[in-house]
Amino acid sequence: MIELVNVKKSYRNATGQIEALKGVSLKVDRSDIYGVIGYSGAGKSTLIRCINLLERPDSGQVLLSGSDITGSSQTQLEKTRQQIGMIFQHFNLLRSKTVFENIAFPLRYLRKSRQEIRQKVEELLQLVDLSDKADCYPSQLSGGQKQRVAIARALANDPQILLSDEATSALDPQTTDSILQLLLELNRRLGLTIVIVTHEMHVVQEICNKVAVMENGLIVEQGDTFEVFSCPQTKTTKCFTASLFREGNVEKLIEQIDQNLGTLPNRKLLHLLFVGPKANNAYISHVIKRFEVEVSILYGSIELVQSRPIGSLFVAISGDELKIFAAMEYLTTEGVGVHILQELPCDGREEVAV
Amino acid sequence: MKEFLIKLFPNVYEMFGDLLDSIWQTFVMVGIAGIFGITIGTLLGIALVASAKGGLYENDLFNSILGKIVNTIRSIPFVILIALMVSLTRFLVGTSIGVRGAIVPMIAGIIPLVTRMTEQALLEVDPGVMEAARSMGISRAYIIVHILLQESLPGLLRSLVTSFISLIGLSAMAGSVGGGGIGNFAIRYGYSRYMNDITVVTVLLLLLIVNIVQSVGNRAAQRLTH
């Protein structure tokens, strides 16, 4: 459906050249909800803008249904874009127009008949559950309602693809969930292919079946959402997985423990990830018996990613250093994800202005 | 009452017909110069915004040349602009004095102001909204007319008001160098012949006109703001 092949894009600013995309390849299939996650400055927004050529890549190909659109003329491009809806963080509605007129805008441009427009807009208003707000102006709506209007407007031309650029980042958690549910419903009902750029783990966890993790203009991991986050390989992905399990809580806990007991010399903080049926095995008691280490459980929880469970335990393990390593190795060979927490600073958000 | 007013403004009473004529002349000058100046200025303002960096028709060279021309004309004091334009004015309308002679420099004087004010009003439009329109596959010309201009309508209206008020000011200045209108009337009688009552009445008249224009404009802009 959508394919990016080795796309590169750089900008010039006062301090020099910034490479926003350093050769990115991506394949989105029909009816995917594809998440692109990364910290700010990772290049995700540039990436999604390359799909409808709001940004022209310096090199590389953008294929839509198999045909390369990077070479198309302005008129061809306008035709192509009519088949791709897009929504934004700040909604980007026309302030001077009512909800009805905002949604009708792309239809008026295509000179649809008055009747056709009325019918289509009413249908879309119903779809996003805003039929009673047709005559309101955007300034009279809440953030969630504005985003619903934007979604309706993006769907006016019956696109097959919807691009979402941080569409829930300006919304509160509840509203975010309602927008995500709406996107999921659109995906299921209309078979809409959705590409979502976000820095919120929650968004990907809820609705994306595939994910690409971006860092520094590159995709560092991509694939099935559950697999990527249940078995994170790179630092950035590990940080996102950890954020699922409210790592902040653990840090506070550790501080308290340190205050009460004093820091133990040979103590490591580990984040253990249990995936699938293995979660049932009694690894912890086994480790304590076999390796003669002390394990204190700080915090545990289970999160659903793509409706499949990932178990998480934050533990402090202390004892002989060699034995700790042996224990860690044992857990790893058993298929438990072991991440040393204190070697995992999650403030790696690069401050690159794009 | 009438006696009292005649006593207070004797010269105004005597030259009331002339005063009415001069008011009419001011309206003609401001009207015609306004139509041309504001149309051209608005178009140039659009051109300036569209050609700017990241604009719909980005063009650095055009943008910087246009910007420099506008700044240059804007920095010339209007009285000097009138003198500078004498030959051009004579060529265009056949005379450099009177109402006709004043209109040409008034147009030239108001264009840079309108251009810059239009630019300011248009820059208020959220670039995100235009990006959204581009993402829908809407043509650039359509975006200019239906988004850029419509979304900035309240701002444009306010700049229109300011333009007309400035034009009234310019017309008075043009009047002082032989251009006709209220300004000419005030200079000719109030200043040169020490008829202070005429000066006072013309000032009151200008105040009244400016206030009417301002409040009508404000109300209209208010109504367009959502």
Exposed/middle/buried for B197, CB within 10 Å: 0-12, 13-18, 19+? middle
The HSE-up count of residue B121 (CA atoms within 13 Å, CB side) is 30
Q: What is the pLDDT of residues B181-201, one digit of tens each?
A: 888 888 888 888 888 888 899
What is the rounded distance in angstroms from the CA atom of residue A51 to the CA atom of residue B202? 64
Q: Is residue A101 within 8 Å of residue A149, measured between CB atoms?
A: no
- Asked if A107 is an interface residue toward chain B (Cβ–Cβ < 8 A), one would say no
The CATH class given to the A2-231 domain equals alpha beta
Give the pLDDT score at A261.
59
Q: What is the pLDDT of residues A7-22, one digit of tens each?
A: 999 988 778 888 889 9
Average pLDDT, chain A: 87
Q: What is the pLDDT of residues B1-52, one digit of tens each?
A: 788 888 888 888 888 888 899 999 999 999 999 999 999 999 999 999 999 9
- Where residue A265 falls among pLDDT bands split at 50, 70, 90? low
Give the closest-approach CA distance of B177 to chain A in angstroms.
44
H or E stretch at B158: helix B153-174
Q: What is the mean pLDDT of residues A157-179?
A: 92
What is the rounded distance in angstroms from the CA atom of residue A193 to the CA atom of residue A188? 10
Q: What percent of chain A has pLDDT over 90?
A: 54
Q: Is residue A244 within 8 Å of residue A337, measured between CB atoms?
A: no
* C-alpha separations of A37 from A206, A224, A269, B41 in Å: 13, 13, 26, 46
- Structure-token pair, residue A51: 């799909």
Q: How many helices (H) and strands (E) does chain B have?
A: 13, 0
* Between residues A293 and A260, the one the model is more confident about: A293
Q: In B, which residues are within 8 Å of A82 by CB distance? A: 136-137
Give the pLDDT score at B223.
87
Give the pLDDT score at A281.
72
Give the closest-approach CA distance of B121 to chain A in angstroms.
14
CA dihedral A318, A320, A321, A323 (to 10 degrees): -100
Enumerate the CATH 3.30.70.260 domain ranges in chain A, comma separated: 245-343
The HSE-up count of residue A8 (CA atoms within 13 Å, CB side) is 10
What is the rounded distance in angstroms from the CA atom of residue A190 to the CA atom of residue A264? 57
* Prediction pTM value: 0.82
Give the pLDDT score at A263.
58
The fourth-level CATH superfamily of domain B11-224 is MetI-like (1.10.3720.10)
- Asked if A135 is an interface residue toward chain B (Cβ–Cβ < 8 A), one would say no
Give the pLDDT score at A353.
37
Residue B58: pLDDT above 70?
yes
Q: Residue A96: closest CA among chain B residues belongs to which residue?
A: B151
Query: Testing the interface with B: which of A95, A98, A140, A141 to mutate, by most B Cβ within 10 A?
Result: A95
Full strand arrangement of the beta sheet holding A337-340: A294-305, A308-318, A267-275, A337-340
Q: Residue B132: closest CA among chain A residues belongs to which residue?
A: A92
Give the pLDDT score at B183.
85
Nearest to B137 among A81, A93, A94 (CB): A81
Report which of A92, A79, A13, A80 is spatially closest to residue A51, judged by C-alpha positions.
A80
- Nearest-5° Cα angle at B98, B96 to B101: 35
The CATH class given to the A245-343 domain equals alpha beta
* Between residues A351 and A186, the one the model is more confident about: A186
The region of weakest confidence among A188-202, A333-347, B123-137, B164-178 is A333-347
Give the closest-approach CA distance of A296 to chain B in angstroms.
51
- Where residue A264 falls among pLDDT bands split at 50, 70, 90? low
Of A40-49, A240-249, A250-259, A271-280, where does the model show the most confidence? A40-49
Reported ipTM exceeds the 0.90 cut: no
Q: What is the pLDDT of residues A50-109, one digit of tens each?
A: 999 999 999 999 999 988 998 888 899 999 999 999 999 999 999 999 999 999 999 999
Q: Residue A101: closest CA among chain B residues belongs to which residue?
A: B146
Give the pLDDT score at A347.
43
Give the pLDDT score at A250.
73
- Where residue A279 falls among pLDDT bands split at 50, 70, 90? low
Q: What percent of chain B has pLDDT over 70?
A: 100
- Where residue A262 falls among pLDDT bands split at 50, 70, 90? low
Q: Is residue B47 within 8 Å of residue B64, measured between CB atoms?
A: no
Contact across the interface for A96 and B150, Cβ inside 8 Å: yes
Q: In A, which residues are within 8 Å of B151 by CB distance? A: 94-96
Greatest alpha-carbon pair distance for chain A in Å reads 79
Q: Residue A141: closest CA among chain B residues belongs to which residue?
A: B226
Give the pLDDT score at A258.
67
Report residue B36 CA to chain centroid gap: 10
Enumerate the CATH 3.40.50.300 domain ranges in chain A, comma separated: 2-231
Residue A339: pLDDT above 90?
no
Strand partners, A193: A161
Q: What percent of chain A has pLDDT over 70?
A: 91
* Between residues A243 and B159, the one the model is more confident about: B159
Q: What is the mean pLDDT of residues A183-187?
A: 94
Give the pLDDT score at A88.
94
Contact across the interface for A93 and B142, Cβ inside 8 Å: no
Domain ranges of chain B: 11-224
Report the 10 Å Cβ neighbour count for A12.
8
Cα R_g (chain A), whole angstroms: 24
Contact across the interface for B138 and A106, Cβ inside 8 Å: yes
Q: Residues of A305-315 as b/e, b for ≥16 C-beta within 10 angstroms?
A: bbeeebbbbbb
